[in-house]
């Protein structure tokens, strides 16, 4: 039995333990079933000529079939490539051309996109056919397929918020050490369960709770599409112990009409990240539900569990991403390439088994990001006197105005202290006088009559003048990407449209 084949080990130890639940199908798979289903898929994959190193692209929502497919691919040494089904057809075509899959799996809701994609040389199976294959009660050959640590099990394409998407290689070794880091920091055991409503095309949809819980023999409930009301009710009914959600998702949940009705006493805490978790949100969940939020930091190229702020420290160290998790090294380098001092801002760098070996088909980008084993994240951070870390924003987001370094996240934090402000985003544009200047986009609370002058008056009292945005735009909502992150591209497009009027 392979030491990295978690599913086979749990199928041997606790065969009847429920591994997966689908709320869409009202169906469960035990660890023994998951083990058998994966082997049936493997038989078919050998028949159609798939072999180690081949790519299997998937255009589908997260579901039971996806998990079975993952186990089969891991055993065969295939690379699973979750495609972002919210991408345009042009973007999807670019990703497919880049990863050159031998097989493509498509759900029924996504099949209408196929005629626009150049996939004539790719074998295509529907998600329903995948299910029929592994549900067919035929004899199965349990093959001896050693899982190799260095083999990539995923190619995750970055969201492209700072350029064209890049395929990040995610290996079995990364997955093991990330699972160990996550389990130790969060105290995950076989008794734990989660409801996964995160998309499969992002590392968080797999490696925050799904793979760590499979490693620990826990229980994963699947929701194909996030719906705040549905998720709240399910969290209550199924006595879920762990949950991960982006701040945007949490805001939608707390605004749901069922928020006050549901009982969430079994939820130990909520993990959040991707964007800064506002202190007002932390206070709201604590006061209304007695639940603390644990912010953390991670990225597609490493982890994604890199740092974590213990929930007991959330009110003591607001806006911190915590301290580094186990089994990795972390350093902050200043502009001179030297170790940054306490409270000195620099680039966050990570080293350890959780760091990607590189980007698919992109050695130039790999060499520019990974130097002597250290991943240069492109994120600015600083460490306080107690060793707690704080993210100051992307290296590419920082701008220089009149010779001064400006960090947008600092301004955003000030803006979000205004009670009528729901969300704030600061971007930079070229400026003839100062070189660059800031633009602030502010989403107001529902029913608010917030004025630009109110915001300016507040900044006059709280922030030094050279950090003030040149222009402030009040919006009903901040546009988001398919990963529920801020879409800076759409905001800049909005600004250009307004400027031309």
Task: Say what the pLDDT of residue 270 is.
Answer: 94
Task: Say what the pLDDT of residue 58 is.
Answer: 98
CATH number of the structural domain spanning residue 488? 3.30.300.30
Residue 300 lies inside a defined structural domain of this protein: no
Task: Say what the pLDDT of residue 103 is.
Answer: 98
At 12-61, the pLDDT tens digits run 999 999 999 999 889 999 999 999 999 999 999 999 999 999 999 999 99
Number of domains in the chain: 2
Single residue among 141, 156, 188 that ends a domain in this structure:
141
* CA distances, 443 to each of 477, 482, 499 (Å): 5, 19, 19
Give CA–CA dist 11/1, Å, rounded: 11
DSSP single-letter state for residue 113: G
Q: Which residue has the tokens 């006050």?
A: 260
Instruction: Give the orientation angle of helix 127-135 with respect to helix 31-47, to 10 degrees.
Output: 110
* Residue 302 φ/ψ, nearest 5 degrees: -155, 135
Q: Residue 243 in 3-state DSSP?
A: strand
Task: Say what the pLDDT of residue 240 is.
Answer: 93
Q: Would you list the DSSP string of 95-132?
A: HHHHH--SEEEE-GGGGGGGGGS--TTSEEEEHHHHHH
Question: Residue 122's closest CA among 154, 99, 148, 153?
Answer: 99
Give CA–CA dist 454/231, Å, rounded: 37
Q: Is 387 left (phi over 0), alpha (psi -120 to 50) or beta?
A: left
The answer to whether 358 and 366 have CB atoms below 8 angstroms apart is yes
Task: Say what the pLDDT of residue 106 is.
Answer: 97
Which two three-digit tokens encode residue 348?
A: 């966050």
Angle at 77 between CA 74 and CA 81, to 5 degrees: 70
Give CA–CA dist 197/39, Å, rounded: 26
Task: Say what the pLDDT of residue 160 is.
Answer: 55
Residues in contact with 263: Cβ distance below 8 Å, sequence separation at least 6, in sequence order:
236
Residue 89 lies inside a defined structural domain of this protein: yes
Residue 442 lies inside a defined structural domain of this protein: yes
The answer to whether 284 and 310 have CB atoms below 8 angstroms apart is no
**3-class secondary structure for 199-231?**
CCCCCHHHHCCHHHHHHHCCEEEECCCCCHHHH
Task: Say what the pLDDT of residue 139 is.
Answer: 67
The answer to whether 58 and 80 have CB atoms below 8 angstroms apart is yes
CA atoms within 13 A on the CB side of 84: 23
* % pLDDT > 90, the chain: 69
Residues in contact with 157: Cβ distance below 8 Å, sequence separation at least 6, in sequence order:
81, 83, 84, 95, 165, 166, 167, 168, 201
Q: Which residues of the chain have pLDDT under 50?
A: 161-162
CATH number of the structural domain spanning residue 137? 3.40.50.980
Give the structural domain span for 455: 399-500
Question: Residue 454's closest CA among 406, 421, 478?
Answer: 421
Measured in Å, how far apart are the chain's first and last C-alpha atoms? 67
Single residue among 115, 141, 167 that ends a domain in this structure:
141
Residue 70 lies inside a defined structural domain of this protein: yes
Which two three-digit tokens encode residue 293?
A: 């939020």
Single residue among 141, 174, 190 that ends a domain in this structure:
141
Task: Say what the pLDDT of residue 501 is.
Answer: 61
Residue 344 lies inside a defined structural domain of this protein: no
Residue 194 lies inside a defined structural domain of this protein: no
pTM for the whole thing? 0.85
The answer to whether 271 and 244 have CB atoms below 8 angstroms apart is yes
Task: Say what the pLDDT of residue 199 is.
Answer: 92
Residue 469 lies inside a defined structural domain of this protein: yes
Task: Say what the pLDDT of residue 464 is.
Answer: 82
The answer to whether 436 and 430 have CB atoms below 8 angstroms apart is yes
The answer to whether 53 and 76 have CB atoms below 8 angstroms apart is no
Residue 489 lies inside a defined structural domain of this protein: yes
């Amino acid at each position: 039995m392979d030491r990295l084949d978690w599913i086979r080990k749990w199928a041997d130890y606790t065969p009847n333990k429920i591994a997966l639940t689908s709320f869409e199908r009202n169906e469960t798979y035990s660890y023994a079933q998951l083990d058998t289903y994966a082997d049936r898929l493997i038989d078919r994959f050998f028949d159609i000529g798939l072999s180690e190193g081949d790519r299997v692209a998937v255009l589908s929502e997260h579901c039971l079939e996806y998990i079975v497919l993952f186990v089969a691919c891991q055993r065969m040494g295939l690379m699973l490539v979750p495609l972002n089904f919210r991408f345009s057809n042009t973007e999807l075509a670019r990703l497919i051309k880049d990863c050159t899959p031998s097989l493509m799996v498509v759900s029924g809701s996504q099949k209408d996109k196929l005629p626009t994609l150049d996939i004539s040389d790719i074998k295509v199976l529907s998600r329903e056919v995948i299910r029929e294959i592994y549900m067919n009660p035929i004899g199965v050959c349990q093959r001896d397929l050693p899982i190799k640590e260095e083999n990539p099990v995923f190619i995750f394409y970055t969201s492209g918020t700072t350029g064209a998407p890049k395929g990040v290689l995610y290996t079995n070794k990364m997955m093991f050490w990330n699972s160990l880091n996550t389990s130790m920091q969060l105290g995950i055991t076989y008794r734990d369960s989660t409801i996964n409503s995160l998309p499969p095309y992002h590392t968080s949809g797999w490696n925050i709770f799904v793979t760590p819980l499979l490693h620990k023999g826990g229980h994963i409930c699947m929701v194909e599409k996030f719906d705040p009301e549905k998720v709240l009710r399910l969290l209550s009914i199924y006595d879920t112990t762990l949950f991960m959600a982006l701040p945007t998702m949490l805001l939608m949940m707390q605004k749901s009409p069922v928020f006050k009705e549901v009982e969430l006493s079994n939820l130990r805490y909520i993990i959040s990240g991707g964007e800064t978790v506002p202190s007002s949100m932390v206070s709201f969940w604590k006061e209304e539900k007695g639940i603390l939020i644990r912010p953390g930091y991670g990225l597609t190229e490493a982890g994604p569990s890199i740092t974590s702020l213990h929930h007991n420290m959330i009110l003591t160290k607001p806006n911190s991403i915590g301290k580094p998790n186990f089994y990795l090294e972390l350093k902050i380098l200043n502009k001179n390439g030297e170790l940054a001092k306490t409270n000195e801002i620099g680039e966050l760098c990570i080293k350890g088994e959780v760091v990607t070996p590189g980007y698919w088909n992109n050695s130039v980008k790999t060499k520019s990001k990974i130097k002597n084993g250290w991943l240069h994240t492109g994120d600015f951070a600083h460490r306080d006197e107690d060793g707690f870390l704080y993210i100051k924003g992307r290296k590419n987001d920082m701008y220089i105005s009149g010779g001064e370094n400006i960090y947008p996240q600092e301004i955003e934090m000030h803006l979000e202290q205004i009670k009528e402000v729901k969300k704030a985003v600061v971007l930079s544009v070229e400026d003839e006088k100062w070189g660059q200047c800031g633009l602030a986009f502010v989403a107001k609370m529902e029913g608010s009559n917030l004025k630009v002058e109110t915001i300016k008056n507040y900044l006059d009292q709280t922030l030094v003048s050279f950090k003030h945005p040149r222009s402030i735009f009040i919006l009903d909502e901040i546009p988001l990407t398919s990963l529920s992150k801020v879409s800076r591209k759409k905001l800049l497009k909005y600004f250009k449209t307004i400027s031309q009027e």
